[in-house]
Amino acid sequence: MVRLFIILSGLFASILLLICFIAVRSTLTIRVKFLIGAHHFQWNAEVYLWGKQVWTIKSRKRSEAKKKKAGGRAEHSGAGNDQEDSAKLWNEHLDKGLKLLSSLNLGESVVVRQVVWVTTCGTGDAAETALLSGIIWSIKASILPWVSRYCSDRPRINVVPTFQRKTLNSDLSCMFQVKIGDAIAMIKKIRRHWKEG
């Protein structure tokens, strides 16, 4: 009876170790999508494991974020305040994101795929819109070599001019693939980074 218990315990421990090893070596896929405009910043992240979606997280809408921040107080309306809030929010997100990316060593552990960056721009004037489109193309062309170093396939970029109306929106999406063991180590670094400020 004792031998049977020892054999079953050893078998159970071996199966448990095998499952842990397979789980840690499995690939986690994260699809991220950003929609960036003059007055809004939205993002969406979907996490897939073994080809099945296991988790989704989205940014709150601007009105929900303001209500939560105000805590029920009356809000000030005005285009100037909205633009200032949008610029501050954008700068905060960009600053935190750049600090976080510099602290993580992503080169070997993360594979980046399917990078798509589409920008829609327009000023209402055809000549100005064409000039703005050229400027955006040159900015993207200067960023593309840096992005391509991390991508396993060729990033797709595009600029869509809208000559009849004023608009400036960027739609950026990509897919990250990382081993679960590396992801756990990165999550620990991210949590430490957010706690530090």
* Residues contacting 33, CB < 8 A, separation 6+: 43, 44, 45, 171, 172, 173
Look at residue 61 in the predicted model and tell me its pLDDT.
63
pLDDT in tens, 60-87: 765 444 555 555 444 444 445 555 666 6
Residue with token string 């990165």: 186
Q: In whole angstroms, give the CA distance from residue 145 to residue 131.
A: 23
The Cα–Cα gap between 110 and 87 comes to 30
Q: What is the pLDDT of residues 146-192, one digit of tens each?
A: 778 778 888 888 999 988 888 888 898 988 888 877 777 777 776 77
Predicted pLDDT of residue 77:
46
Q: How many CB atoms lie within 10 A of CB 92?
A: 10
Nearest to residue 168, comparing CAs of 180, 178, 159? 159
Tokens of 98: 């750049």
pLDDT at 87: 61
Q: Please, what is the Cα angle at 196 between 190 and 197, to 5 degrees? A: 90
Domain ranges of the chain: 26-70+78-196
Other CB atoms within 10 A of residue 115 CB: 20
Of 165 and 95, more confident: 165
pLDDT-derived band at 98, boundaries 50, 70, 90: low
Q: Above 70 in pLDDT, residue 95?
A: no
Q: pTM for the full model? A: 0.61
pLDDT at residue 118 in the model: 92
Q: Is the pLDDT at 102 greater than 50, yes or no?
A: yes
Beta-sheet strands, E only, within the chain = 27-37, 41-49, 52-58, 110-123, 156-161, 166-179
